[in-house]
Amino acid sequence: MQSALLNRTRGAAFKATRPNACSRSVVVVRATAETVVEKKERRLSPLERGGTLSGDQAAGKDAGEKARAMATGSTGAATFLQIVDGRFVDDRWIGGRWDLNQFKDSKGEVDWDKVIDAEVARRKLLEESPIPSINEDPVNFDTSEIPWWAWVRRFHLPEAEKLNGRAAMMGYVLALFVDSLTGAGLLEQQESFLGKLALHICVFAILLVRTSSDLDKYKGLIDEATFYDKQWNATWDGVKRPSEAESQ
């Protein structure tokens, strides 16, 4: 009897302390509501943080002096390639010539490519906006001051590399085409007169026609060469020429 009463008392105490299903769900909801999700701060992209480069390199590979000055933040009193009061003004143009000390690189050597760029830009500006030449403001700079190897490296080497590549590709294609038609190999084509003639025609054609704009240039030359003949013939439209009158 006492043992049964004791078991009932323990069972009632266990039911009082055990949480029911509703209270359990409430606890879960509260725990979920109180949970704070911490978001990581998003990293800025290269464009948002101003690019991956700094200084004058951030302006780009082929940027001008003005863009480089803006990238370095030194645009306060800098003046580049301007015409003020009928005179060419540039902080690097001193005494009618380019100050080569302002074109030196980090190694202390003159960057002749920048000098060439500046001179080309100056002549382009004067071509678009001509100014009078006066004795008080002479031009003492001469392009002959730029070393010959700077011109070769800047203009001739890239052009020669491009032409050699085109000649090699066109020569290979034409030799393969002739081989497929006649069965003559590369050595046989080089030993024959027609093969040498075709090779020279290919090379000279590539030298004369480097870009598609060259075709328009040659077309303009032909039109210019025949312009006066066309103009002369147009003056005789509807009029009998003396030679025609004598023949009648």
Amino acid 51: pLDDT: 54
- pLDDT computed for residue 39 by the predictor: 55
**pLDDT of amino acid 93:** 93
Amino acid identity, position 204: F
Q: How far is CA 154 from CA 71, 107, 124, 199, in A?
A: 25, 20, 18, 29
Confidence (pLDDT) at 226: 87
Q: Are 173 and 181 in contact (CB under 8 A)?
A: no
pLDDT of residue 192: 83
pLDDT for 32 equals: 44
Q: In this structure, what token pair is assigned to residue 22?
A: 């509703």
Q: Global pTM?
A: 0.48
pLDDT recorded at residue 8: 60
Q: What is the mean pLDDT of each run of 10 residues along the chain (248 residues)?
A: 53 49 44 49 61 56 57 60 89 92 91 93 92 87 92 87 85 84 81 82 84 84 86 81 65
Closest CA to 141 of 168, 107, 116: 116
Q: How far apart are CA 103 and CA 96, in angstroms?
A: 16
